[in-house]
Amino acid sequence: MSSPRFVPGHEPPARGREGALLFAAHGMDLLVQEREGTVGIPTGASLPSLAEGAHFLGTLDGVDCYTAPYPKGQEPPEGMKLVQARTLYRKVDEALFAVAGRALAIAEWDVTHRFCGRCGQPTSLVPGERARRCPTCHTPFYPRIAPAVIVLITRGDTMLLARNATFPEPFFSTLAGFVDPGESLEECVVREVREEVGVELKDLRYFGSQPWPFGRSLMVGFTAEYAGGEVRVDGKEIAEALWFTADNLPRIPPRLSIARHLIDSFIERVKGSSGSSGP
């Protein structure tokens, strides 16, 4: 069995940071190098001042990885530029893209918790933990993760996909929403589906999960069968929702998303069952 390409960690090693990958983040943007048509992550040697105070993420293929907030308003060095991290998909390999997502979350946590939200005092890093703590009131601050659910609803050999009114591009996807305080994941699925498209569910099953840094969330995926009700979109979040077959698909999300994994899994199951049926 091969070793994992990325090994997470939070305690920085004693070795130098010159050859480490440095993910400099500003909001949802990352600082990248462009050379001869390729995109890469700069090293600590090219950004020594940032590397000195950067947070250790772990190792990717044996190479140390760090992240640091990129100073607001500072012009990128020559040969580098800030780009939306989402646009790196398919320009870098998936393992590197995943580390970039982790870097965004850690860098944002570092920026947004420099001061205590309870008493306003400057916070300090906690040795041995991914945490900042107020030295006055001792309140700890950890990287924030917002749990969200996402569900593929099926009815026979069809699936219900919806177009979000706020999507920058017109494509259809599975239904999703953030979990409310005091709500279980299963309760959230039922509520979100009822609010957004007005239908009831049965046979709700866990599918898998995916960290999603672009919404600073952890997506928890489910499948469910349609149990009744007429599809009626809320008109606010959802612009339209329709039933589709595997052979009549609209534009759907890219392969990096759990929404696409849910859709692809259903298509494989439907086509596999139809192909295996005999006289």
Q: Are 157 and 146 in contact (CB under 8 A)?
A: no
Maximum distance among all Cα pairs of the chain, rounded to whole angstroms: 76
| Confidence (pLDDT) at 212 | 85
DSSP state for residue 235 in the 8-state scheme:
S
Instruction: Decide which of 3.90.79.10, 3.40.50.300, 3.20.20.120, 3.40.50.970 is the CATH code for 146-273.
Output: 3.90.79.10
- Residue 61 pLDDT > 90: yes
Q: How confident is the model at residue 128 (pLDDT cuts 50, 70, 90)?
A: confident
Which has more pLDDT, 133 or 279? 133
Q: Which pLDDT does position 215 carry in this prediction?
A: 67
Is the pLDDT at 76 greater than 90? The verdict is yes
* Alpha carbon distances (Å) from 88 to 6, 46, 147: 18, 20, 24
Span 174-221, pLDDT tens digits = 999 999 999 999 999 999 999 999 999 999 999 999 998 776 799 999
Instruction: Write out pLDDT tens, residues 141-182.
Output: 999 889 999 999 999 999 999 999 887 667 899 999 999 999
Residue ranges of the chain that CATH labels 3.90.79.10:
146-273
Establish whether 232 is an annotated binding residue: no
Give the burial class of 137: count Cβ atoms within 10 A of its Cβ; 0-12 exposed, 13-18 middle, 19 or more buried.
exposed
Chain centroid to CA 213: 3
Least confident interval from 8-22, 118-132, 264-278: 264-278
Rounded Cα gap, residues 84 and 80, in angstroms: 13
Q: Distance between terminal CA atoms of the chain?
A: 42
pLDDT at residue 279, rounded to an integer: 39
Continuous segment of H or E residues that includes residue 204: strand 200-212
* The pair of three-digit structure tokens given for residue 154, joined into one six-digit string: 């099926």
Asked whether residue 196 is marked as a ligand-binding residue, the answer is yes
pLDDT number for residue 157: 96
215 or 76, greater pLDDT = 76
What mean pLDDT is reported for the chain? 92
Is residue 237 a known part of a binding site? yes
65 is in an annotated binding site: no
> Which tokens go with 58?
């772990």
Task: Pinpoint the alpha helices (H) of 59-213.
Answer: 94-112, 185-197
CA distance 245 to 120: 55
Backbone CA torsion sign across 249, 268, 96, 10: positive
CATH among 3.40.1170, 2.60.40, 2.40.160, 3.90.79 for 6-112: 3.90.79
Give the mean pLDDT of 64-71: 96
Closest CA to 100 of 170, 164, 24, 206: 24
Confidence band of 274 (pLDDT split at 50, 70, 90): low
Does the pLDDT at position 256 exceed 90?
no
Residue 119 in marked binding region: yes
Q: How confident is the model at residue 277 (pLDDT cuts 50, 70, 90)?
A: very low
pLDDT given at position 235: 85
Q: Quote the pLDDT of residue 275.
A: 61
The pLDDT of residue 89 is: 82
